[in-house]
Structure 1
Amino acid sequence: MHWALSSLGDPVSVTQHGVEDRDGVLVRDITYAGLEAEPVRAYLVEPARTGRYPAVLYLHWFEPPNPTSSRLEFLDEAVARARQGAVALLPDLTFPWSVDPVGDRRDVANVVAQTVRLRRGLDLLTARPDVDRSRVAVVGHDYGGMYGLLLASVDRDRIHAVVAMNVDATFGNWFATFFLGLSGDATIAYEELFEPVDPIRYVADRGGVPLLFQFAEPDFFVPDSTRRTLVSLARRPKDYRLYPGAGHELDAAARADREGWLTERLKG
């Protein structure tokens, strides 16, 4: 696939629409230039004090009409991490949030385009003078976590830790089941289109990037067999944690584990 469409290293244009000071943490409402200068809506969260910090790219889940099915999901976590000393980018993802799957190769192209927008977000973070480029992490939930697993492989030279929360192994499965209502041979043919971009193809090939899997047990959306396959294919270093009864949204225990795991891997 044409991952190089990102034009990595080029300056990323940013427009600020507002800023809020949350007791020493600045939450900036921005858009940045994504694929072919398309604006990507995001929060940029940073300490108000000067310094050189680790950075985290947070990628939200798909759960409309829940308002946390957006850049809002991880905002409190990003603010808490900024108080400890970190910069965070929280973009709004668009596929399949605002663009529905249609059932053909255009859906694969939209997965690639979404990944490129996120790579441009990495460009934005790693170009900042207050970001330590040797301490950059990605945290993703649901579809956001699936995109995070792609980034952890494609951008292994820029990413140093990844958290994947309640992720599926393939894009086509959820699209076919929950959006398109496909079955039988139609499902098989459709899922085959996504093989070049499926997380299960990338999870093993991270170049040593540490990975934390977080899964609810049980999870209606992620069968035990899918979870076990993903975890078994992932090469070390990896950690694997289950949260009984937490639901697909996960819970406070998962957040505490995630924050502790990231703190350990992003310390200077």
Structure 2
Amino acid sequence: MRSLRTLSATGLVAAVVLTGSAATAGDTEPFAYKRGPVSVTQHGVEDRGGVLVRDITYTGRAGEPVRAYLVEPARRGHYPAVLYLHWFEPPNPTSSRLEFLDEAVERARQGTVALLPDLTFPWSVDVVGDRRDVANVVAQTVRLRVGLDLLTTRPGVDRSRVAVVGHDYGGMYGLLLASADRERISAVVAMNVDATFSNWFATFFLGLGGDATIAYEKLFEPVDPIRFVTQRRGVPVLFQYAEPDFFVPDSTRRTLVSLAERPKDYRLYPDAGHELDATARADRAAWLDDRLNP
């Protein structure tokens, strides 16, 4: 991915303040939070042929700043919106807000606003093997809910047409949002997701086994995606999986999809790899078009 070429920069400008409602009615625990002002600082903007790619930082109430891209059509309109959540694949540069940038620009040319935040857990915050990991999953989810506050209050965004697209860990967070924010989310795409956070953390980060793994798994039960796929209450989901996928066993994939309430779509991509492929991207675009542009 090319880096942004700054056409105009605001530097340390006075923050734009977007105000949400005072409280979140019908919140899903443990991700409850109180909405408040969202401060946005723009660092630069690039015009990509009628699409504005804004390099921003946003901050919610008592929260940490989140670096993100905000991608918008340059022309005024009444647009659907997508929150894109990237995968974990360091040191690949697309293990960041860059992963979906080209996809977001392409959709913006057709009339869509997108927010692409940098995720931090487990990208830049270490997995330590205790309750702090669960707290970090909760904190990351709340920061993404603040991102939805920003996106749904953006001028020109149709609040009735908001989707989440997530890959790998990003897709797992997307499934949590589809339950916690089901009143604001119209559709969710989950790409090569695991059913539980503890599985990848225990296996690839901590090297746990036996009783230690079982105890660690129990810590995450209140926040695992497999719990929340049954609580979307009508939010449609598209599951996209490579077959085979080194990181997601067939049994895990089948269990998660079978437990997910309808409406749901389930598509497999032979030999596409964990990153998936152009066919998956085209399917994702068409599926989103059907739900965001009826």
Asked if 1:104 is matched to 2:130, the reply is: yes
Deviations 1:109-159 (A, max 9, x none): 000000000000000011112100000000000000000000000100000
Deviation at 1:11, TM superposition (A): 2.5
Q: Normalised by the size of structure 1, how large is the TM-score?
A: 0.98
What residue in structure 2 maps to residue 15 of structure 1? 41
> What runs of 5+ residues in structure 1 fail to find an aligned partner?
none
Amino acid at match of 1:107: D
Task: State which of 151, 156, 160 in structure 2 corresponds to 1:125.
Answer: 151
Asked if 1:205 is matched to 2:231, the reply is: yes
Asked if 1:162 is matched to 2:185, the reply is: no
SS in 1 for 2:289: helix
CA distance in 2, matches of 1:186, 1:35: 36
What residue in structure 2 maps to residue 3 of structure 1? 31
The structure-2 alpha-carbon separation of the partners of 1:35 and 1:148, relative to structure 1 and needing over 3 Å to count, comes to farther
SS in 1 for 2:234: coil
Asked if 1:193 is matched to 2:219, the reply is: yes
> What runs of 5+ residues in structure 2 fail to find an aligned partner?
1-28
Deviations 1:198-235 (A, max 9, x none): 00000011010010000000000000000000110011
Q: Normalised by the size of structure 2, how large is the TM-score?
A: 0.89
SS in 2 for 1:4: coil
Amino acid at match of 1:155: D
What residue in structure 1 maps to residue 246 of structure 2? 220
Computed over aligned residues only, the root mean square deviation of the Cα atoms, in angstroms, reads 0.9
What residue in structure 1 maps to residue 263 of structure 2? 237
CA distance in 1, matches of 2:30, 2:253: 28
Deviation at 1:35, TM superposition (A): 5.8
What residue in structure 2 maps to residue 264 of structure 1? 290
Asked if 1:148 is matched to 2:174, the reply is: yes
Asked if 1:94 is matched to 2:120, the reply is: yes
Amino acid at match of 1:55: A
What residue in structure 2 maps to residue 29 of structure 1? 55
CA distance in 1, matches of 2:186, 2:108: 18
Deviation at 1:3, TM superposition (A): 1.7
CA distance in 2, matches of 1:59, 1:219: 20
Q: Is the 8 A contact 2:37 2:60 kept in 1?
A: no
* Higher RCO (C-alpha 8 Å, min separation 6): 1
What is the percent sequence identity of the aligned residues? 85
**Whose helix fraction is larger, Structure 1's or Structure 2's?**
1
CA distance in 2, matches of 1:142, 1:162: 13
CA distance in 2, matches of 1:54, 1:12: 20
CA distance in 2, matches of 1:105, 1:15: 33
CA distance in 1, matches of 2:45, 2:275: 28
Hey, which bits of structure 1, 4+ residues long, moved more than 2 A? none
SS in 1 for 2:200: helix
What residue in structure 1 maps to residue 7 of structure 2? none
Q: Is the 8 A contact 1:34 1:116 kept in 2?
A: no
What residue in structure 2 maps to residue 254 of structure 1? 280
Task: State which of 76, 100, 104 in structure 1 corresponds to 2:102.
Answer: 76
Q: Is the 8 A contact 1:35 1:113 kept in 2?
A: no
CA distance in 1, matches of 2:30, 2:216: 20
SS in 2 for 1:231: helix
Q: Is the 8 A contact 2:30 2:223 kept in 1?
A: no
